[in-house]
Structure 1
Amino acid sequence: MKKAKKMESGSVTTPFGRRPMTFGMLASQAAARKIEPGQSIDKWKLYRALCEARPLLGVTDRALAILNALLSFYPKGEISEDNGLVVYPSNAQLSLRAHGMAEQTIRRHLATLIEVGLLIRKDSPNGKRYARKEQGGELREAFGFSLAPLLARAEEIERLAAGVAAERLHLQRLRERLTLCRRDVAKLIEMALEEGAAGDWNRVHLHFRDVVERLPRSPSAEQVAAVLEELEMLREEIINQLEMQVKTQNQSGNAQHSERHIQNSNPDSISELEPSFEPKQGATADDRSAGQVEPIGRRGKNGEGNGHVAAARSASAANGALKSFPLGLVLQACPEIAAYGPQGSVGTWRDLMAAAVVVRSMLGVSPSAYEQACEVMGPENAATVIACVLERAGHINSAGGYLRDLTRRAERGEFAIGPMLMALARINVPHRGKTG
C-alpha cells in the first residue's frame, strides 16, 4: 500500500484527451517528488497561508474557492502521503461545495490552479475521476487531482504569506504616520492663519494640498513613504517658523501681550489658559446679567481698562450693547452645554462660562478669538454664543471663524443674540418636553 502511495506522487502523468502536456506540468510533477518522508501539514493552516500569499502566487479568489472545495473532500485534517494525496470529486459535487459555481467556471479555475503549480491532474484512462479500493476497503489507486504540490511547496507558501503579512503591516504603520502628520500640518496651518502669524500661509497650504493630492487612491508602501517624508519636512519647517515667532514675541516683552494673560505657577488650571473675569467693585446683579463685567488682566491699579478694551467697549456702547437673556432660557435653548459644566451641570453664570471654556477648546476656537468675543459682547453673552455654536456644530465648518465674524458684527452693532437663541429654543423645547 505504501509503495502504491509513493508511486502516486512519484510517477509522471499526462493529461487525458486533447489537453497537451506542458513543461510547466512536468516541472510541477518533478517538484512534487521532493516531498520529505513523513512530511505533513494541516490543510486549513496551509489554505490560510495560500489566501495570504495569493497576490504572489498569481491565483484569483475564485480559484482559491475551488481549492477550498477540493480540500473539503480530503478525508484527513493533515495532508500527507500516508493519507493519500488525490481527491476525486465530480464537477457536480465541486459545484455544490463552491456555492453553486457553474461547471464551466470550475473547469477554468481548476486549469489556473494546475498552471500555477498548486495541483497536478492525475487522469484515469477514460478521463473520469474515481478510486479503486482493496477488498478490505483500503484505497488502492485514485484518479483526480493530486495535492502533492501543496505539500511539497508548503514551506515556500508559508514564507510568501509571512512576507505579504509583514508588507501589509508596514503599509498600515506608514498610513498611520501619514494620517498623524497630515493632521498636524493642517491644524498648524489653520492656527497660523487664524492667529495671524507672519508668513505666506496660503502658499504653504497650497503646497500641502499638492503633496497630499499626489497620493493615488490605493498607494503602495513606497508611494506612502515618499509623501510622508515630504510632509514631515514641511511640518518641521512650519514648527520651526512658528517657534521662532513665539520666541521673538517672548523676547520683545510686548506689554499688551503681558496684560492679556494672568500668569500663575499652576499651568493646569483652566483660569490661567482662558480669560478670567470678575465683576466690577460695587456692580449690581443686573450689571452682571447684562454682561458688564471687566477682565481682571485688563484693569490697572485704579480700575481703568487699557486702550484696546476701552475702544471695544466704546464701539459696543455706540452701537447699542448686546441684550443679555436669563440663564434658564439659555439652557433651554442650548441643553448640550450643560454636560460640560462643573460636575456635569450648569447652575450659575459662572458654571456656564466654565463650560464655555471647555467647549471653546473642543470646537477649535482659539483663545484670542474667544477673548475678543468676551471683550466685545461681555463674558456671559460670549458664553451664550459658544453654547449656541455647540448646538449647531454640525452645520458650522469653522467655529473660530464664525465666532470672529459674530464678534465683528457685534462691534458694529449688527448682531443680536435673541434671534439665534429663540430659533434654538423652538427646536429644543418640544424635544425636551417629549423626553422629560
Structure 2
Amino acid sequence: MESGNVTTPFGRRPMTFGMLASQTAARKIEPGRSIDKWKLYRALCEAKPLLGITDRALAILNALLSFYPKGELSEENGLVVFPSNAQLSLRAHGMAEQTIRRHLACLVEAGLLIRKDSPNGKRYARKEQGGDIREAFGFSLAPLLARADEIERLAAEVAAERLHLQRLRERLTLCRRDVAKLIEMALEEGVAGDWGRIHLHFRDIVERLPRSPSAAEIAAALDELELLRDEITNQLEIQEKTRNHSGNAPHYERHIQNSNPQSTIELEPSFETKQGATAQDGSAGRAEPAARMQKEEEANGHVREARSASAGSGALKSFPLGLVLQACPEVAAYGPQGSIGSWRDLMAAAVVVRSMLGVSPSAYEQACEIMGPENAATVMACVLERAGHINSAGGYLRDLTRRAERGEFAIGPMLMALARTNMPVRGRAG
C-alpha cells in the first residue's frame, strides 16, 4: 500500500486500525458503482442498532449528505464533502458544535466516514481553472458506497427481526385473550375444575414478562400459554361431551319425581283439609276425576322441584383464598393483625366490613345460610371493593342472596372482573 493513499487525522487525533481498515475498504469500490444516497440513508436508519450509531449521529450524516451535490453516490462525482461546523449546525436544526464534533467522531469510529484532513485541519476544496474540484479536504463518504451491500443486508435483518417480534406479540395477545375468556366462561358456567389455580398460573405467566420483552422472552411465554390453552380446551371438551351424554337426564328425573309412588303421602294433607268431618265429603274426594288428581300431583311435583333447586343453588362454588385476596386486596386491612392468612381470618374481616358498610346482621346471616360462610365472606370482600359504586350495601347483599337462592348468581364472574381490575399495571406484549 502506497503511503499517499493513506490519510491521517489532523492535530492530536490518533490514527487507529479502524481508520486504516475503512480506508482500505474504500479503495475496493467497484468501478462505476453508484447508489441513491437517500435510499442508502434509509437503510442506515433501519440498521442503526446493528451499526452502533445513534439518531443524533444519523442527523449529522443526513446534513453531510445534503451537502453532496448529486442524488447518487459515485466516485465519478467525488465523495468528499467539506462543510464547516457552522453550516452543519444550521442543517442539523441548530445542534451545538461540541455535539457535532462528538457525533462526527462516532461516525468515523463506526466506519461510515473517513476524515480527509488538510494540512491545517480546515475543510475546503481546490478547484481547477474550469471550476472542477481538483482536491477536497473534509469528510469522505466512500465507506458508505463501499459498505452499501452490507448496510442493506443489516437493514433487512433488522426489518425481519421486527416483523418476527410483531408476529410473536400478535400471537401472544390472541393466546392471552383465549385463555382469559375460556377461564371466565368456565367459571360462569360452573364447569368442574380447579379454575382458581389455573387462573393464578395464567397471571403468573403474564406478569413475568418485562415491560419491553425480547423475542426470546415472548416466545417462552407464548409456549407456556399455548400449553395452558390446550389443557383448558381439553378439559372443557371433556365436560361438553359429558353434558351431551346426560343431556336428557333432567327430563327423566322430572318424570321419576312425578311418578313417585310415595307422592300420595304428600297429597294426604290436602285431602284432609278438603274432607272435613262428613263421610259424604270424603266419598266425594275419593270420587274426584283422575284429571284433577293428576293436576294436583304435577303441582306438588313443581313445588318439590323448586325446593330442590333452591337447596342446590345455595351450594355455590368456592374459590381459592389466594384468588379472593388477589381480586379483593382491600379486605386484608380488616383482618386480624391487619392481614388475612386463612378463611377464618377472612370471615372475621367480613363481619367488620359488614358493620362498616351498614349491612344488617340479619342480611349477612341470611347470606351465610344460603351461600355458605366462606362464600358470604367472599361476597362481602367483593362488595367492599365496589363500595364506591354501590348505594346500599345491605340491599345489594340481599339481592345477591335472593338470586343465589334461585340459582341465578355465581361468584366466579365477579371475582374474575375484580382480578382483572386489580392486577398490577405492567407493560403488555400485545
Same fold at TM > 0.5: yes
Determine the structure 2 residue equivalent to 1:146: 140
Question: Distance between the aligned counterparts of 1:12 and 1:309, measured in 2?
Answer: 100
Distance 2:153 2:252 in 1: 64
Q: One-letter code of the match for 1:94? A: L
**Equivalence for 1:62:** 56
Partner of 1:361: none
Deviation per CA, 1:249-282, whole angstroms, max 9, x where unpaired?
Answer: 111234338999xxxxxxxxxxxxxxxxxxxxxx
Match of 2:219 in 1: 225
CA spacing shift, 1:140–1:309, aligned 2, 3 Å: farther
Equivalence for 2:29? 35
- 1:149 Cα offset (Å): 0.1
Question: Are the equivalent residues in 2 in contact too, given 1:28–1:117 (CA < 8 A)?
Answer: yes
Question: Residue in 1 aligned with 2:346?
Answer: none
TM-score (normalised: structure 1): 0.60
Q: CA deviation at 1:406?
A: 4.9
Q: Which amino acid aligns with 2:139?
A: F
TM-superposed CA distance for 1:309, in Å, is 7.5
The residue type paired with residue 161 of structure 2 is E
User: Per the alignment, do residues 150 and 404 of structure 1 end up closer, same or farther by CA in structure 2, a change over 3 Å counting?
Assistant: farther
Contact 2:117 2:137 in 1 (8 A): yes
Structure 1 stretches lacking a partner, 5+ long: 1-6, 261-301, 316-394, 397-402, 414-436
SS state at 1:104 partner: helix
5+ unaligned residues in a row in structure 2: which ranges? 255-297, 312-387, 390-395, 407-430
Q: Does the aligned pair in 1 maintain the 2:80–2:137 contact within 8 Å?
A: yes
Runs of 4+ aligned structure 1 residues displaced above 6 Å come to: 257-260, 302-305, 312-315
Encode CA deviations 1:167-189: one digit per residue, 9 max, x unaligned.
10011001000000000001111
**For residue 196 of structure 2, what is the aligned residue in structure 1?**
202
Q: Which structure has the higher relative contact order (CA within 8 Å, separation 6+)? A: 2
2:8–2:15 contact (8 Å) kept in structure 1: yes
Q: Are the equivalent residues in 1 in contact too, given 2:310–2:405 (CA < 8 A)? A: no
Q: CA deviation at 1:80?
A: 0.4
Structure (1 or 2) with the larger CA radius of gyration: 2
Name the aligned partner's letter for residue 46 of structure 1: L
Residues 12-47 of structure 1: CA distance to partner in whole angstroms, max 9, x if unpaired?
Answer: 101111111111100110011110000000001000
Partner of 2:45 in structure 1?
51
Give the corresponding residue for 2:72. 78
Q: Structure 2 residue aligned with 1:216, among 210, 220, 223?
A: 210
The structural deviation recorded for 1:311 is 5.1
* TM alignment of 1:2-21, pairs within 5 A: 11-21=5-15
Equivalence map 1:17-416=2 (5 Å) = 17-256=11-250, 306=302, 310=306, 406=399, 408-409=401-402
Distance 1:411 1:174, change over 3 A: closer
* TM-score, normalization by structure 2: 0.60
Give the Cα–Cα distance (whole angstroms) in 2 for the partners of residues 257 and 158 of structure 1: 72
Change (3 A) 1:227 1:136: same
1:340 is aligned to none
Structure 2 Cα separation of the partners of residues 303 and 130 of structure 1: 108
Classify the secondary structure of the residue corresponding to 1:132: strand
Shift of 1:117: 0.1
Identical aligned residues as a percent? 80
Q: CA deviation at 1:410?
A: 5.6
SS of 2:154 mapped into structure 1:
helix
